[in-house]
Structure formats: C-alpha cells, structure tokens
Amino acid sequence: MSEYSGVKTLSPNVEVLIQGQKLSTKSDADLLEVTVFEDIDAPSMFTLEFLSWDLAKSKFTWIDDSLFDIGNEVEIKMGYQNTVKTVIFGEITGLEPEFSQGATPRLVVRGHDLRHRLLRGSKTKSFTKMKDSEIFSDIARARNLTPKVKDSEVKHDYVLQHNQTDWDFLKSRAERIGYEIVIEKKNIFFQPPQIDSQKVLTLKFKEGLSEFFPRLSTMNQVEKVEVRGWLPDDKKETLGKAAAGKEGSKMSGKKTGPQVVDSFGSSTATIVHQPIKTKAEADQIALGQFKDMALAYITAEGTCAGNPTLQIAKVIDIQEVGKRFSGLYYVTSTEHHYSHKSGYQTSFTARRTAS
C-alpha cells in the first residue's frame, strides 16, 4: 500500500528546485501549473508555467530572469503537505513566453531529463570487439552521465553508428536485444525491463484509481520467435530461438500471451533482416524480441489521484478490476499534473505479460 493512500484528504504540494535551490517566495507564488511527462521510449519532459508580470512596477518578471537560463538543472518534487518525492530531474531546454493583449504575460519553462543530451548531433563512428553494454557505457560517459548496465554478454566484432544521434543509435541497439534506456538523475540504465521487480504501490479501482482501461489482445502474440542469419566466417546458416516459457515473470497472472495462442495452432515470428555474426547473437536477439512481444499482451491506461511513486520502469499492483485484469503491471509512461485550480493528478500507461 502506498503512503499516498487517502490522498484526497490532504493538500497537494509541489516543490521546484533550480540549481539545487528552492524557488523564492515570489516565484513560487507566480507558479501556476507543473506538468511532468515521463516515457520509457523518449526523453521525459517537464513544463513550469509562471505569471510573469509585476503589476506594481509595470514590468516583466521571470521572462528575462537568469533563474531560467538554458541548461539550469531542475528537480521537481510532488506529493502532499510535507511529504514530497522527486518525479523528474532534468535541465531547462526551452522558454516559451506568452504575450496576449488583455491577459497577464506568462512564461512556460520547458525541460527534459538528461537523456536529451543523447539527441545532440549525429555522428558516424565504429566500435570493434565490444558488447552493446560497453558501447553504451562509453557513450554515456562522454555525455557526462553515469552508466548502470546489465552486461549484454555478446561481444561484436564490428558495430557502426551511421550518421545517427547517440539516442537513435543506442535505442536501436537496445531494442534489438529487448533492453531499455531509463534514467534517474544522472544515472542512466541499459537493461531489460525490470518486470520481476517488487511492486512500488497498489492502486484499487474507486480507491484512488478513478479510471482504468486495459486491453488484452492476442493479435501480436506468437508461440515462438526465430532469428535466422548467415555466419560469413563459418559459411553456414544459424538459428536463434525463444519460445513460450521464456517470457520471464507472469506478473501474478496465470497464462502468458504466447501460452494462450497455443489454442490457435502453431505460430512463429521469423526475423531475417538482422545482420548476425554468431549463434549467441541470434539467441540473444530472439529472446529479447520474444520478451518484448510477450510484455505487450495486455496494455492499459489509467488515471489516479496524484502519486509521485508512480513512475516509469516500475511495477505497480492494480486491484478491484476483476480477476483477469487485476495484478502486476509495468509502467511505461506517466503524466503528473499539478495546478492551483485542479490540484494534483497522475495518468499512466502500463503493460503486462499474463492474465
């Protein structure tokens, strides 16, 4: 059970730190709205909306203030009363003032988590005799980020980053083997989805969880994934396989998507477009693609009272939505929104391997 249960009886609170310092009393009073968008598949983003007019002095306030200089570090904490928790740590990447006749000038401060650094510039670079996790670590350190990796084990003779941003290159390497790239402050992770982690909170329908729309579909599920390739050194074909039983955690469910589709007859997804150098590489790609497919068996969207514990790459427990759909879910995106008028609310998307 989350410490934020019963939140409706508490006063929502948001705390913004810029360059490690809390907002001044005046800037905090001018803060109208805070929104944080988290996503596993893209750098997360935040917006801060301020009134930016001093009525007594008839001049702009925050629009030209150095507090919001590009590159300043921002940490946003949300919660209730004196209990707040960090929901994003990032840097200011844009400013969007709003000038409208008859309305008070405003300033929207936009920023992203530090994965945005990987989007800066494209390059062509080769990597020899390295694992994907080693390549990732080298690039992360070059961007002044601290890599936290799960050893990808397979060493590649040659990998080319061809006129790509670091983000596009690393994302393609991660997706190839079923890994993801997530970040916590300056620690950047290269690892498989942590679906077997301990749940961070429980949400019950009508008790904090106001909306929940799950969707179970077998249309993208198969029993087995195969990766076929040609080994140029050995001059022979190789085959990597992953099948039902290799999905990983059932996330408190009983049958996974690959197990359910057994009733429709034999089904195999064959991948032939990936360049393969070794049998170990073929097996790794097959397993990664199979697990990624299995995790898409159930997808869901939900809305609940604001909860800063609800973050991407975490496991949550959804209850009181029937036996088939109650259970553990892996969070893939969130939106935390706070305003003086509407309070604090969180929406999310999530996935599950079994029902």
Same domain, 51 and 64: yes
Q: What is the CATH number of the domain that holds 342?
A: 2.30.300.10
DSSP conformation class of 183: E
Residue 167 has which token pair?
A: 């983000």
How high is the pLDDT of residue 83? 92
pLDDT of 288: 95
Asked whether residue 20 falls in the same domain as residue 103, the answer is yes
pLDDT at 212: 97
d(CA 311, CA 77): 12
Is residue 257 within 8 Å of 218, Cβ to Cβ?
Answer: yes
Assess whether 92 and 22 both reside in one domain.
yes
Contact 275, 229 (CB under 8 A): yes
> Which domain range does residue 71 map to?
7-117+299-352
Kindly state whether residues 73 and 93 are assigned to the same domain.
Answer: yes
Domain for residue 211, yes or no?
no
Q: Is residue 332 part of a domain?
A: yes
Return d(Cα 144, Cα 185) in angstroms, integer.
12
Q: Does residue 111 form part of some domain? A: yes
Q: Which pLDDT value is given to residue 277?
A: 85
Instruction: Determine the pLDDT at residue 9.
Output: 54
Q: Return the pLDDT at 4.
A: 53
Do both 78 and 178 map to the same domain? no
User: What does the pLDDT read at residue 193?
Assistant: 96
Question: Mean pLDDT over residues 272-280, rounded?
Answer: 83
Mean pLDDT, the chain, rounded, equals 93
**H-type helices in 177-301, by residue range?**
257-260, 279-295
Out of 8-12, 103-107, 321-325, least confident range: 8-12
Nearest to 123, CA basis, from 170, 81, 164, 66? 164
Statement to judge: residues 127 and 163 lie in one domain:
yes
φ, ψ for residue 90, nearest 5 deg: -155, -160
Give the model's pLDDT for residue 275: 78
Split at pLDDT 50, 70, 90, the class of 287 is: very high
DSSP summary character for residue 223: S
Cα separation of 179 and 2, whole Å? 28
Q: What is the mean pLDDT of residues 236-245?
A: 91
- Residue 47 in domain: yes
Domain identity same for 14 and 68: yes
341 in a structural domain: yes
d(CA 76, CA 36): 8
- Among the three residues 295, 311, 334, which one is the final residue of a domain in this structure? 295
Q: Is the pLDDT of residue 249 over 80?
A: yes
Cβ contacts of 323 within 8 Å, gap of 6 or more: none
For residue range 129-147, list pLDDT tens digits in order. Answer: 999 999 999 999 999 999 9
Judge if 338 and 236 occupy the same domain.
no
The pLDDT value recorded for residue 191 is: 97
- Point out the domain boundary residue: 151, 174, 191: 191
The structure's pTM equals: 0.93
CATH number for position 133? 3.55.50.30
Per residue in 291-315, pLDDT tens? 999 999 999 999 999 999 999 999 9
8 Å CB contact between 157 and 266 = no
Give pLDDT, residue 1.
Answer: 43
Same domain, 65 and 142: no
DSSP 8-state assignment for residue 9 = G
Helix (H, G, I), strand (E, B) or coil at 14: strand
Contact 183, 136 (CB under 8 A): no
pLDDT digits (tens, 9 = 90+) for 187-220: 999 999 999 999 999 999 999 899 999 999 999 9
67-98 tens-digit pLDDT: 999 999 999 999 998 899 999 999 999 999 99
- The percent of residues in the chain predicted with pLDDT above 70, rounded, is 97
For residues 273-287, average pLDDT: 88
Is 198 inside a domain boundary? no
User: Are residues 109 and 170 both part of a single domain?
Assistant: no
Contact 189, 181 (CB under 8 A): yes
* 127 and 169 fall within a common domain: yes
Asked if the structure places residue 206 within a domain, the reply is no
Q: Residue 152: which residues within 8 A CB-CB, separation 6 or more?
A: 131, 132, 133, 177, 179, 190, 284
Is 340's pLDDT higher than 90? Answer: no
Residues 182 and 225: their CA atoms lie apart, in Å, by 26
Of 2-6, 175-179, 301-305, give the lowest mean pLDDT range.
2-6
Considering its fold, how many domains does the chain have in total? 3
Least confident among 180-189, 232-241, 329-338: 232-241
pLDDT of residue 30: 94
**263 shares its domain with 306:** no
Determine the pLDDT at residue 145: 97
Say whether pLDDT at 3 is over 60.
Answer: no
Residue 285 lies in a domain: yes
